[in-house]
Amino acid sequence: MATEVLQAHKLTKRYFREGRGQARYFDAVSDVSLHLQAGGFTAITGRSGCGKTTLLTMLAGLLEPDEGEVVLDDKSLYTLSDAELSRLRNTHIGMVPQIAAAIKNLNVFQNVVLPAGMYNAHDEQAAHERAHQLLERLEIAELESAWPELLSGGELRRMAIARSLVCSPALILADEPTADLDSQSTKLVLELLKEQAGQGCAVAVVSHDAEVNAYADVILEMDAGRLT
């Protein structure tokens, strides 16, 4: 039986919305339970605004649910202190945000290895070697010394993906990782994420890109905040 890396139990996130003269609360995510297993590649699909990003952000320990629980490494994420939660994210989770971002005064290589320098939790030399390998694999090795402002959207996206993987996390959460990418770069990224799953990671990808489904072991669809 595959090992469960993360369990989410009955997650709900509620927001207040005004519009057309009415104000009401609505559930961006409603009563969602989800298990992510080591070695599994899960695709989460659905229309814009259906709650996919909200769900992924809660799974990453970045947005506290109004109801429910997320368990990672036998720890309930939202019972931890900020310091404990930050350290757990650094050592266990690789997060690819929907909007690729970088620290402007660090070059590409420095941005990629940045997570490995935190908390003294990672082998620096091993992280540097892995960063070189990831940048080579994603075909941006020649940009290691470049400043982020000089990168195209697709290059910045691939840099963010390399950064999310540099610490060899047990869990990879990727929000639209193929946005801004051409077909060849999309293939590179999806093959790399599939390879990480094959090496024992739990991978969850939120995407509108139908090509992602071809790599997934499990395909889940969100509709109005619920997984179907």
Ranges of beta strands (E only) in the chain are 4-19, 22-37, 41-45, 67-72, 75-76, 93-96, 171-175, 202-206, 218-223, 226-227
Residue 17 has pLDDT above 80, yes or no: no
- Banded pLDDT at 21 (limits 50, 70, 90): low
3-state secondary structure of 74: coil
- For 202-221, letters b (16+ CB in 10 Å) and e give bbbbbbebeebeebbeeebe
Task: Report the pLDDT value the prediction gives residue 25, as an integer from 0 to 100.
Answer: 80
Task: Report the pLDDT value the prediction gives residue 26, as an integer from 0 to 100.
Answer: 84
pLDDT in tens, 66-115: 999 999 999 999 999 999 999 999 999 999 999 989 999 999 999 999 99
What mean pLDDT do residues 185-211 have?
Answer: 96
Q: What is the Rg, in whole angstroms, of the alpha carbon atoms belonging to the chain?
A: 18
CB atoms within 10 A of CB 170: 19
**Of residues 18 and 14, more confidently modeled:** 14
**Of residues 18 and 155, more confidently modeled:** 155
Task: Report the pLDDT value the prediction gives residue 48, as an integer from 0 to 100.
Answer: 86
Residue 23 has pLDDT above 70, yes or no: no
Residue 16 has pLDDT above 90, yes or no: no
d(CA 152, CA 180): 9
Could you tell me the two tokens for 77? 């994420």
Cβ contact 76:65 at 8 Å: no
3-state secondary structure of 89: helix
Sequence length of the chain is 228
Domain ranges (residues) in the chain: 4-227
Task: Report the pLDDT value the prediction gives residue 22, as an integer from 0 to 100.
Answer: 66
Indicate the fold that domain 4-227 takes in CATH.
Rossmann fold (3.40.50)
Q: Are strands 218-223 and 41-45 parallel, antiparallel or unpaired?
A: parallel
Task: Give the mean pLDDT of the chain.
Answer: 94
Task: Report the pLDDT value the prediction gives residue 88, as an integer from 0 to 100.
Answer: 96
Question: How far is C-alpha 157 from the chain's CA centre?
Answer: 12
Could you tell me the two tokens for 127? 């992280």
Q: Give the neighbor-by-neighbor strand order of the sheet with 218-223.
A: 93-96, 171-175, 202-206, 41-45, 218-223, 226-227
d(CA 50, CA 115): 31
